[in-house]
Amino acid sequence: MIFEPEATAAAAPHPAAGGTHGRASLLDTVLASLSDSKAEDIVTIDITGKSPMADQVIVASGRSHRHVGAIADHLQSDLKDAGHGNAKIEGAPQCDWVLIDAGDVIVHVFRPEVRDFYNIEKLWSADVSAPVHYAG
């Protein structure tokens, strides 16, 4: 195990890291990275209690295939630099819809027309506790 002197270890923390590596700092890191990458229409959806897979879903848009890919690459790098490990990425070859699984935070980055088509904000924002009546 290698120990660094305190001055060296604290010299370059990630600006959004917030001092701890809990959920809040993970969310802060993700949001700061998306903002730095100029992601558009960023929406955060709290799914705590709706799904065991994560606590937050973030949906954002990139202007083009290249922009969507760059946002995902930048986010993966920022998460690793902040000490949150390697996020899993799906959809990077096409860059129409890229999913970044950072554990408690799942990020979807879309091209605008693909985002409009799938409309996952509506899916995750649905009230799953409301009863559904079938009239058939």
**Measured distance CA(112)–CA(60) in Å, rounded:** 9
Residue-wise pLDDT tens digits, 27-51: 999 999 999 999 999 999 988 888 7
The more confident residue out of 30 and 3 is 30
Give me the pLDDT at residue 43, please: 93
Give me the pLDDT at residue 91, please: 92
Phi, psi of 126 (to 5 degrees): -60, 145
Give me the pLDDT at residue 126, please: 64
23 pLDDT more than 80: no
The more confident residue out of 1 and 88 is 88
Residue-wise pLDDT tens digits, 5-22: 333 333 333 333 334 445
Give me the pLDDT at residue 67, please: 96
42-to-7, 30, 45, 106, 121 alpha-carbon distances in Å: 35, 11, 10, 13, 11
Give me the pLDDT at residue 130, please: 56
